[in-house]
Chain A
Amino acid sequence: MKKETFSVVNHSVLKIDGLQLALGRKSYVADLKPSDALYVKMLWSPHAHAEITSIDIRKAETMPGVRCVLCHTNTPRNIHCTAGQGFPEPSPYDTFMFDKKVRYVGDRVAAVAAETPEQAEEALKTIEVTYNLLEPVFTVDRALEPDAPIIHDEPEAHIPIPVPYEPEHNIVAKVGMEAGEFDQALAQADYSFDYTYETPYAQHCPIETYISMAHIDARGRVVVETSTQVPFHARRIIARTLGIPVRQIRVIKPRIGGGFGSKQEMLLEDVVALMALRTGRHVIWQLTRAENFRTGRTRHPIRLRIRTGVQKDGTLSALGMDAINNTGAYGGHGLTVVSCCGSKVLPLYRCDNIHFDARVVYTNLPVGGAYRGFGATQAFFAVETQIDEMAEAIGMDPLVFRQKNHIRTGDGSPVFQALGEGKEGTPMTIGSCALDQCILQGAAAIGWERRTPHTEKTGRYRTGIGMCCLMQGSSVPEIDMGAAAIKMNDDGSFNLTIGATDLGTGSDTVLGQIAAEALRTTIDQMIVYSSDTDLTPFDVGAYASSTTYLSGEAVRKAAVKVLNQILGVAAEMLEVPAESLEARESTVFSADGRQATYSEICLYALYQKNQFQIMDSASHITHKSPPPFAAHFVELELDTFTGCIKLLQYVATVDCGTAINPKLAEGQTEGGVMNGLSYALTEQYLFDSRGKMTNASFHNYHIWSMRDKPILKTILVPSYEETGPFGAKSVSEICINGPAPAINNALYNAAGIRLREFPFTPERVWNELQKKQA
C-alpha cells in the first residue's frame, strides 16, 4: 500500500448536507411543491396481460378539478427504454408513454392531473376501459415455450445495439462466454457439482417513493425536479419520449430519499413534463408505497444453474454458470444485470475452465431494474453456497479453500475481457486486492477457530458460523463518463459543480473532499452543487459503483488544473517561477518564505492584473473497473424445532482502496449488509393467481428496523488502487451481496442443510430440516 499523508481525504469529515437534513429543512422534491401544484394519479392495469380495446376519458376530463388526462390516444407514441444507461442503451426499446397493451398488473393505462389528489382519484374512476384479456406468462419456463404468448409484439420494439433480441420468443437478450475446456474439465474433476438456485423478487424500498415535479419556466422550457439517480439520462429519455429537444428540458435532482438503483430509471418524469407542458402549471406526482412496490423497479429474480469441478488438492478446475433472468414486462437492465452475474462473480476464484450462458426473458410480472449489487447479489448466493460445498467435499476448511483459490493482485481473468455491457468487456489486471487480509481479519473478529462441524451439534438450538467472499466493480470502463468544473471565489472558496448524483450516499461530500485535497484547501471552502442539467457538467449518474472512482477522478483532475492556475497567478504576484511554489492550507508559499493566500490570489486574478476567472473542468473515463473485495462472516443460532434463525453477530470486512470518508464508507457497508440481511431472511413478493403482488405494504413486506439489528462489525481493510482518486475504489454495492450466502453457509454449519432458494423463512428452513432427517 502506498503511503500518502492526506489532510482531507481518508478523514471522516462531516457530510455536507447532514445537518440540513437532520433539521428537516426543505430539501426533497415534495418540499419544493408550491401550494397551487396539480396532483397526478395513475390508472394502473388490473390485468397482467391484455389489449386495451377501448378507452374513454371524456367524462374524466369534465370532472371537478381535472386539468389534464393522458392515455394512449392523446400522447406521443415514441418507443423508448426507461432504463437510465449510457447511449445507445444495452436494453431494448420496448416502452411507450402509454400503450394499447398492458403487460403486468401495474402497467400504465391513463393519468389524471387535478387540483387535489382526491379529485384526481375520483376522475380515474370515471375512465372507461375495455380489455381483451390475453394469457399471462408468469414463469420463465412458460415464456420460453414455443407456443407462449408474445409479450412484446409491437413492431417498433428493438434493441439499439447489435446484440440478439427476439421478442417473438420472449427473449430480451442472450450472452455467454467460454474459457478453456469447461465440459472436459467438469467431466475429469475429482468431484463435480450441479445445482440450480432461485433468487427472489425484492424491492429497493427507498423511504422516499418515486416522486417528480415539473413546471414551465419563464422562457417556456420544462423544468423537472425529480428524485433520480440519472438526471442527464432522464433528460435524454424525456426528450425522446415526448419528442421534444433536449434544450427544452432542465432536470434538477434536489436531495433524494434513497434510490439503491430503483431511480436509475425514467418512470414518472415524462408524465409530469407533458402535463406541465399541457397545463402550464406545476405538476407533481408521487407514488404511494403500494404503487412503489407494484410498478416501481425490482430486483430481477434469476435462476442460476452452477456446475463446478474440483480436484482433491483444492484446485478449482471448472466453473460454470447458466442463468435465466426474469426481467418482467419490460427489458431495461435485463442484459446488463445478467452479464454482471458472470462478470462480477466468476473472476473471484482462479479457474482455467469457465462457462457462462445467460438469457433474459420477458414475463407478465413486475419489472426488474438496477438494484444495488446488480446481478452479483443473485449470483453470489449461488456460487458462494457451492464454493462452501466443494470445500466440504474435499475435507478442506471453506476459509482455507477460498484463501487457496481467490484472485490476487496481478491476476487477470478471461471473464473481464469477455463480458461487458452489451459488448465485449475490457481486459483487466487486478491492481489492488486486500482480500487475503479481509479474510484473516474477518475470521479473527468472528472467532472462526470456534467453528465445529455440524455433525458434532445436537439439541434444539444449534449455532453455525458461515462466510463468503465477494467482489464488485468500480464504474463501467470505456463507457461511463463523469465531469466536474471548479471555479474559484474571491474569499478563496470554490464552487465544485458535478453531474454526479448524490442519492444519500454522501458523494457530494466525498467529491468535495477529493477536490479540497487536490486544491490543498479544506472541505469548508468547497461549495458543492450537483445534478442539474443546466448548471453542472455531464455525468452518467449514480450507478455501477462509479461515483467515487470515476467522477472522483474527474474532480481530482479538474482540481489539479485549477491549482496550476492558482500557482500561475501566485507566481505573477510573487514574481517567482510557478515551479518553485508550494501550496498548502489555502496559501501559496515561495521558497524565500513569502506567501499569498488563496483569497489574495483570487482577488488579484479577478480585479488587479491580467484578469481572468480561475476555473477549469475535466472529464474522466476509466479503462478498468477495479473490484472492491469483501469477506463476510455470520454466526447464527438455528431453532431446529421451528426453523427460526437468530443472528448472533455479523462481520463485514471490505477492501475499498482508500476510504475517502471512512465513516461514510462504513455507512455504505452497514446499510448494504442490513438490506442484504432482510433480503435473505424476510423480504419477498407474494402474488395472487392473476399476477398481482398481494403484500405491497411495509406491514406485509418486512424490512428490518433497529429492533432487528444484529451485532454488526464493519472492518475497512485498506489497499491502494493506483487508477482511482487518492487510491479509492468503490464501496456502495458490494456488501449487499454477502448475507444470503453467508447465512446459507452458516445454516449448513449449524445443521447440515443447504438451501437453494431464499428468503430463509422458518417454513423453508424447517422443511429442509425435515428432508434431511427423512
Chain B
Amino acid sequence: MNRKTITCKINGVQKEFLVDPDTRLQTVLRDQGYASVKFGCGEGACGACTIIMNGEAVYSCILYAFQADGQEIWTTEGVGSLDKPHPFQQALVEEGAVQCGFCIPGMIMSAKALLDREPDPSEEEIRLSMDGNICRCTGYEKIWTALHKVIAQGKGRES
C-alpha cells in the first residue's frame, strides 16, 4: 500500500504522521492519543468522533487521514484543561449535563464550531448544528441549558 506522510496542525501544534490510504482520520487521532475522539458508530451517524477541521465540525470517522493533510484540526483536548476548561465545558459540568460523558466531546466540538462562527445563534441554528450528535443518556435538556448559559453569558467565543 502507498503509505504517505501527512502533516497537519492539531490543537495548534504541527504534527506529522505516516498513514495508509485507507486509514480513517478517527483511527489516526485515537492512536495518537487524542482520546476525546470517540468511536460510537464509525459510519457518520452519532457524532461521538466530531472534531473541528478548518473551522467546521466534521465526523472524523468518515474522513480518510489523507484528507487531513495540510489542514488545521481541533479536538476537545485542545479546547480546555483541568485548570482552564472552556466555558461550555464548565457549563456542562455545572448543569449536570455530563452523564456517561461519551457523547460530550463531540457535542463540545459541534457547539464550539457553531459559537466560533456565531456567538449568538438562533434556536433553529442550535438545533441544526447539534443535530449530528446523539446522546442516549441526557435527553439533551441539560446540554441545551448549558449551551444557552454560555450564550447568555456572552462567552460563546472564548476558548
Point out residues on A near B: beta carbons under 8 Å. 12, 14-15, 17-28, 30-31, 35, 204-209, 255-260, 286, 288-289, 503-506, 661, 663-664, 666-667, 669-675, 697-699, 703-707, 709, 712, 714
Contact = CB atoms under 8 A, between A and B. Distances in A.
B139 A674 contact: yes
19 contacts: A22-B80, A22-B93, A22-B101, A23-B85, A24-B77, A35-B31, A208-B40, A257-B38, A258-B102, A259-B100, A289-B41, A505-B99, A667-B137, A671-B138, A674-B139, A674-B140, A675-B139, A705-B133, A706-B131
Interface residues of B, number: 56
A709 B140 contact: yes
A672 B99 CA distance: 12
Contact of B40 (A255, A289, A663): A289
A231 B24 CA distance: 33
B100 A698 contact: no
Interface string B38-71: 1111110110100000000000000000000000
Contact of B139 (A209, A286, A673, A699): A673
Contact of B102 (A207, A505, A664, A706): A207
A64 to B, nearest CB: 13
Contact of B43 (A208, A697, A712): A697
Nearest to A502: B100
B30 interface: yes
A698 B45 contact: yes
B85 A664 contact: no
B39 A671 contact: no
B139 A23 contact: no
A255 B100 contact: yes
Across chains A and B, which 4 residue pairs bring their CB atoms closest together, nearest first? A24-B36, A504-B100, A21-B101, A257-B102
A289 B42 contact: yes
A207 B127 contact: no
A670 B102 CA distance: 17
Contacts, number: 194
A693 to B, nearest CB: 15
A683 B75 CA distance: 31
B98 interface: yes
B116 interface: no
A19 B93 contact: yes
B82 A18 contact: no
B98 A207 contact: no
Contacts of B94: 14
Given A23-B89, A24-B37, A289-B42, 7 more contacts: A23-B76, A206-B136, A207-B136, A208-B102, A288-B42, A505-B99, A703-B134
A206 B31 contact: no
A22, A204, A205, A289, most chain B CB atoms within 10 A: A22
B130 interface: yes
A704 B134 contact: yes
A179 to B, nearest CB: 37
Nearest to A676: B139
Interface stretch (B2-10, B103-111, B149-157): B103-111
A256 B100 CA distance: 6
B41 A22 contact: no
Q: Is the interface of B mostly helix, strand, loop or mixed?
A: loop
Contacts of A14: 93-94, 96
B139 A207 contact: no
Nearest to A211: B39
A663 B128 contact: no
A217 B35 CA distance: 24
Contacts of B98: 15, 17-18, 21-22
Given A19-B89, A23-B77, A706-B133, A666 B102 contact: no
Contacts of B73: none
B77 A504 contact: no
Contact of B100 (A12, A503, A666, A673): A503
A111 to B, nearest CB: 20
Given A23-B89, A663-B96, A709-B141, A698 B134 contact: yes
A258, A506, A703, most chain B CB atoms within 10 A: A258
B143 interface: yes
B136 A204 contact: yes
A205 B140 CA distance: 16
Interface in B75-96: 75-77, 80-82, 85, 89, 92-96
B135 interface: yes
Given A23-B36, A25-B35, A18 B138 contact: no
Contacts of A712: 139, 141
Nearest to A669: B139
Contact of B35 (A12, A17, A26, A288): A26
A671 B85 CA distance: 25
B144 interface: yes
Contacts of B46: 207, 289, 698
Contacts of B131: 705-707
Contacts of B81: 23
Given A22-B92, A24-B35, A706-B127, A289 B134 contact: no
Nearest to A700: B45
Contacts of B37: 24
Contact of B141 (A35, A260, A705, A714): A714
B35, B100, B103, most chain A CB atoms within 10 A: B100
A667 B139 contact: yes
A766 B43 CA distance: 32
Nearest to B41: A289
Contacts of B38: 28, 30, 207-208, 257
B140 to A, nearest CB: 5
Nearest to A675: B136
B101 A706 contact: no
A663 B42 contact: no
B89 A504 contact: no
B139 A671 contact: yes
B103 A706 contact: no
B45 to A, nearest CB: 4
Contacts of B102: 21, 28, 206-208, 257-258, 504
A207 B99 CA distance: 12
B127 A18 contact: no
Contacts of B36: 23-25
B54 to A, nearest CB: 20
Contacts of B142: 663, 666-667, 670
A15 B98 CA distance: 8
Given A207-B103, A504-B101, A706-B127, A697 B41 contact: yes
A300 to B, nearest CB: 19
Given A19-B85, A667-B142, A712-B139, A30 B100 contact: no
B109 to A, nearest CB: 10
A207 B48 contact: yes
A319 B30 CA distance: 55
